Amino acid sequence: MADSNGKRDHFIGVDLGGTKILAGVFTPQLKCLGKVKMSTKPERGPEGVLERVTRCVQEAVDECDLTFDNIKAVGIGAPGAVDPEEGRIIFAPNLKWEDVPLKRVLEKQLGLPVFAENDCNACALGVYETELDPKPRSMVGIFLGTGIGGGIVLDGKPYSGFNRTAGEIGHMILEVNGPKCGCGNKGCFEALASRTALFRKIQTAVKDGQKTVLTDMLGPDLTDMKSGDLRKALRRGDKFVEKVIEEAAEYTGIAVANVINLLNPEVIVLGGGVMDQLADEMMSIIIETARDYALTGTIKGIEIIASKLGDDAGITGAAVLAKRESK
């Protein structure tokens, strides 16, 4: 307990996803002391999942040799439409949840104040608070992982819009009649540049006879392929993988240009698992393409940068939320 001097001044950040729950313990200065990951088990329903969230928080606190007496508040980023005032999930398609009173249930189980936000808004807030200095007036975070999500921060606050669903940049149509997306439409950004889209493209090409070092690395079925494998293939000079990554970076650059044309934010941050592994390869192409596609004069002075928070963006932002809201 030396770390906290017995004070109630630490924060918990929770990232609730469709497959995993991540909980981290943060100091008053937002340094992460430790974290614990658990599977979500969405088939157990809201009650079962929220019990797991509580256990994950307990484990994280214990992991850091602290007790709940050291924790001032808990923040949680959850997928779907979240009402931050009421701390309620309005709907979350990938958990199949509707109208879940996240804040109320967790506050009862944890005995601590709980604050909720949309997961991508939380990620954006984490980047804004811990990676940007000075603070821009407006920022858009674009997170490329299994899917693609976005979060908007205006005047320092998450912007969530009328139905609390703003920032769904993954479903921006970039190519009418493009490849099919999980949402049912065609040509969404997510269907062109997410990890899922990249892997599908590679797997289809390999089935059609495309040669790549990835099959040497992972076997003919490319079992358990990860973003990091693509990076390794690039380093080994795989021209096919290079082209796939290049195309994804170009689509990302076009999406960035669309955001610049429409919202003209001061800073655009790219994050998520794909960027975590491939930022070195993708960032210059993204920036160059964004310059080509943004209308003359609109991109001047706008920063386009990669986040270094990786998978910790969600828990960091959730901890920021806990700190801000419990003041």
Return residues touching a second copy (CB under 8 A).
80-81, 90-91, 93, 136-138, 150, 152, 154, 160-169, 171-178, 183, 185, 187, 251, 254, 257-259, 261-266, 292-302
Which of 257/274 has CB closer to a second copy? Answer: 257
For the bound state, the minimum distance from the C-beta of residue 263 to a second copy, rounded and expressed in Å, comes to 6
For the bound state, the minimum distance from the C-beta of residue 234 to a second copy, rounded and expressed in Å, comes to 23
For the bound state, the minimum distance from the C-beta of residue 157 to a second copy, rounded and expressed in Å, comes to 11
Instruction: Tell me if residue 62 falls in helix, strand or coil.
Output: helix
For the bound state, the minimum distance from the C-beta of residue 297 to a second copy, rounded and expressed in Å, comes to 5
Tokens representing 34 are: 């430790």
Give the distance between the most distant pair of CA atoms in the chain: 63
CA distance 60 to 32: 11
For the bound state, the minimum distance from the C-beta of residue 127 to a second copy, rounded and expressed in Å, comes to 17
Half-sphere exposure of 172 (CA within 13 A, CB side): 22
- The amino acid occupying position 176 is V
DSSP state of 99: E
Which of 1/295 has CB closer to a second copy? Answer: 295
Which of 289/316 has CB closer to a second copy? Answer: 289
Which of 13/84 has CB closer to a second copy? Answer: 84
User: 41 and 49 in contact (C-beta within 8 Å)?
Assistant: yes
Burial 89-110 (b: 16+ CB within 10 A, else e): bbbbeebebeebbbbebbbebb
For the bound state, the minimum distance from the C-beta of residue 181 to a second copy, rounded and expressed in Å, comes to 10
318: Cβ contacts below 8 Å, ≥ 6 apart: 12, 13, 14, 15, 74, 75, 76, 77, 117, 122, 126
For the bound state, the minimum distance from the C-beta of residue 316 to a second copy, rounded and expressed in Å, comes to 23
Strands 10-16 and 71-78 come out as: parallel
Which of 64/192 has CB closer to a second copy? Answer: 192
Q: Which helix (H) or strand (E) covers residue 274, if one does?
A: helix 273-293
Which of 70/258 has CB closer to a second copy? Answer: 258
Which of 27/165 has CB closer to a second copy? Answer: 165
